[in-house]
């Protein structure tokens, strides 16, 4: 390891740079080169440096667009110290070695987030000299140390002190790799911005460039012998990385999938009423809304299917209170895998933390960000590639078309929309029976993941009966995620006691289904939107 003798410092984010520069200068007697703007800050703090323009004998040009693009800079970074041919060229052209490059880039992503930023202003935030220097230093990492972020200053200082002014090869390699990751993200941001600027209507353009950053390792993958981690989209401002784990065990791959599904259900129901959603394997097994009380919605959602609620993911949309915590932990003694709420009463947390392994998550104002969250695209991996689509974030009701002779009133309409929303989040084929109670609506039977529509209806009925909701099936409301291809699904629904059904319509046999609904005295609504979930 060779001690550093000359460093080039040119940073946009100047946090921490004074401390680093002082240590380089005072402790290790390093010569500092710097651009005019960064140099002015160094000079203000009593740190002597050499201007790049003096080092190269070439002035900054074009309003600062050219500062470091010069053979004495790029050559000083790139020439291989152990290669005689490069040494000869360096001597011939008076190229002095630059041993460390401390540089971070113009903040392009932050700039384009400003409302109404002009194209000319965005273009000026595309860094040229910075990327050239850090890429050159990263390429020549055996001879040059690149420090691309203030995040590494502390580590660099510690290592310089430990190694008498030198940096280990391991650190050089790690920082070089970080540079190319930074550049991938930076270039992707520019490409995506220009693509969107010149063709804003192209939802699915020819290329989509994504960069993902690891947030944390998972406890395990979908199964115990699979390794997994959660990565965030570096361009996504809002996502699961905004959620805060308060306590509990490490989150697993399957936990993340369930957390995602639960959050999306809560996003669909919003904050108008008190909502509780309980899931297992990404499908809801109990959902309830209450207009007056959160605990009532919790109890009703739990009553749908108490068996499946064991080890489930529970989400509520209002502050979790002491009485809810007491219901879960002390009264019902329910094993909850993940519990999610925007906030928690202190007394509630004291009760919940008795369950050491329960994953407790606080998501704060996440539900208020629905429009921003769904600006992203949904990406799902397949062998050798990905499938990309818009999120299914539009209203579940495209049109309200009561096609039967029997009509529905406003509260019945609300119950049908509730049932259809729940069926949207159950795996296809799906069906949800819902019932009205004093201050709200709740699911009484949910079927999911069946290959035929008649069988998923039968499953939902079977579960409703098994968990004590047989009587509540009378005059209930059923939603199913696509049309009835035959009248048999409708017949089974009405036989169980339902008074109204909602589906999108669109079957070539719709007329036969409508005719059968009229014969059985059942209200039938076509909403014009399918809500499959695979």
Residue tagged 């791959």 (tokens):
253
Four-point Cα dihedral 489, 493, 494, 496, nearest 10? 140
Helix (H, G, I), strand (E, B) or coil at 252: coil
Phi, psi of 243 (to 5 degrees): -75, 145
**CA 369-372-375 angle, 5° bins:** 145
Residue tagged 């930076």 (tokens):
186
* Rounded distance between C-alpha atoms, residue 356 and residue 353, angstroms: 6
Four-point Cα dihedral 312, 318, 321, 323, nearest 10? -60
Q: Tokens at residue 351, please?
A: 């009760």
Helix (H, G, I), strand (E, B) or coil at 141: coil
Contacts for 407-413: CB closer than 8 Å, 24+ residues apart: 407/523, 408/500, 408/523, 408/525, 411/436, 412/477, 412/499, 412/500, 412/523, 413/525
Q: Are strands 274-280 and 283-290 parallel, antiparallel or unpaired?
A: antiparallel
* Rounded distance between C-alpha atoms, residue 146 and residue 176, angstroms: 7
Catalytic residues: 139, 281
* Rounded distance between C-alpha atoms, residue 470 and residue 474, angstroms: 8
8-state DSSP, 61: B
Residue tagged 């190319």 (tokens):
180
Residue 507 CB burial class (10 angstroms; 0-12, 13-18, ≥19): middle
């Amino acid at each position: 390891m060779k001690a550093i003798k000359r460093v080039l410092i040119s940073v946009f984010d100047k946090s921490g740079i004074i401390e680093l520069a002082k240590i380089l200068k005072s402790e290790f007697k390093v010569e500092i080169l710097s651009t005019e703007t960064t140099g002015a800050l160094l000079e203000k703090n009593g740190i002597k440096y050499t201007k790049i323009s003096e080092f190269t004998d070439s002035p900054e040009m074009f309003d600062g667009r050219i500062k470091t693009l010069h053979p004495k800079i790029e050559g000083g970074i790139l020439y291989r110290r152990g290669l005689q041919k490069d040494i000869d060229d360096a001597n011939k052209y008076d190229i002095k070695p630059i041993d460390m490059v401390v540089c971070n880039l113009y903040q392009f992503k932050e700039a384009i987030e400003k409302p109404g930023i002009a194209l000319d202003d965005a273009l000026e935030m595309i860094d040229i000299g910075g990327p050239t220097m850090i890429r050159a230093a990263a390429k020549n990492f055996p001879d040059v140390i690149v420090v691309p972020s203030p995040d590494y200053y502390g580590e660099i200082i510690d290592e310089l002190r430990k190694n008498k002014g030198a940096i280990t090869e391991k650190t050089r390699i790690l920082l070089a790799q970080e540079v190319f990751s930074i550049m991938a993200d930076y270039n992707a941001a520019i490409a995506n911005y220009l693509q969107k600027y010149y063709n804003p209507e192209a939802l699915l353009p020819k290329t989509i460039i994504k960069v993902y950053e690891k947030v944390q390792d998972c406890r395990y993958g979908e199964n115990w012998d699979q390794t997994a981690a959660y990565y965030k989209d570096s361009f996504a401002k809002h996502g699961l990385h905004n959620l805060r784990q308060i306590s509990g065990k490490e989150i697993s791959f399957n936990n993340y999938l369930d957390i995602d599904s639960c959050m999306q259900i809560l996003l669909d129901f919003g904050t108008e009423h008190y909502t509780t959603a309980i899931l297992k394997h990404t499908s809801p097994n109990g959902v309830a809304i209450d207009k007056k009380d959160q605990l009532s919605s919790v109890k009703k959602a739990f009553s749908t299917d108490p068996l499946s609620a064991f080890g489930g993911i529970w989400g509520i949309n209002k502050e979790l209170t002491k009485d809810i915590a007491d219901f879960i932990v002390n009264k019902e003694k329910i094993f909850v895998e993940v519990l999610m709420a925007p906030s928690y009463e202190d007394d509630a947390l004291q009760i919940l933390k008795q369950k050491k392994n329960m994953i407790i998550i606080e998501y704060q104002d996440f539900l208020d960000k629905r429009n921003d969250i769904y600006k992203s695209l949904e990406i799902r991996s397949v062998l050798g590639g990905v499938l990309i689509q818009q999120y299914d974030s539009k209203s579940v009701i495209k049109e309200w078309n009561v096609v039967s002779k029997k009509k529905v009133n406003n509260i019945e309409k609300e119950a049908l929309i509730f049932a259809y929303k729940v069926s949207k989040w159950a795996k296809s084929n799906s069906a949800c029976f819902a019932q009205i109670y004093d201050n709200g609506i709740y699911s009484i039977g949910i079927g999911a993941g069946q290959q035929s529509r008649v069988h998923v209806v039968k499953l939902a009925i079977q579960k409703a009966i098994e968990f004590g909701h047989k009587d509540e099936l009378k005059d209930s409301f059923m939603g199913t995620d696509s049309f009835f291809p035959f009248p048999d699904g409708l017949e089974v629904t009405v036989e169980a006691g339902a008074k109204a059904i909602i589906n999108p319509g669109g079957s070539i046999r719709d007329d036969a289904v409508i005719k059968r609904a009229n014969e059985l005295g059942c209200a039938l609504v076509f909403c014009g939107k399918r809500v499959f979930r695979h």
